[in-house]
Amino acid sequence: MLWRAEGFVPRQFGLTGTNANGHRLAVEFGPSPVLPQLRGGGLQWPRVGREWGTHVRFSHPGCWQLRVNAGARRSELTLWVRR
């Protein structure tokens, strides 16, 4: 997944997630800042802001609630995962 935040965002970036049954999201890589030389490698989305990359594994299909923390900024994202 690629995440983007606009404005001032500290280097700290956290990602957690659970489903309705309490299974936790497996974050296999990241969150890591996307280096400027890697930007645009297939993703052509001209927007301002810092980017972070993550690789996650959803252990079960269903509804997942992801929580993102970037300094004092917080957000939630709900995803429906199918196999």
Q: Where are the domains of the chain?
A: 2-81
Q: For residue 59, which amino acid is it?
A: S
Q: 2-81 — its CATH code?
A: 2.60.40
Residue 19's closest CA among 70, 69, 74, 56? 56
Q: For residue 42, what pLDDT is reported? A: 45
How many helices (H) and strands (E) the chain has is answered by: 0, 6
Q: For residue 36, what pLDDT is reported? A: 56
- pLDDT tens figures, 12-56: 778 889 998 889 888 877 777 766 555 555 455 666 667 777 888
Strands, sheet with 2-5, edge to edge from the N-terminal-most edge strand: 2-5, 50-57, 26-33
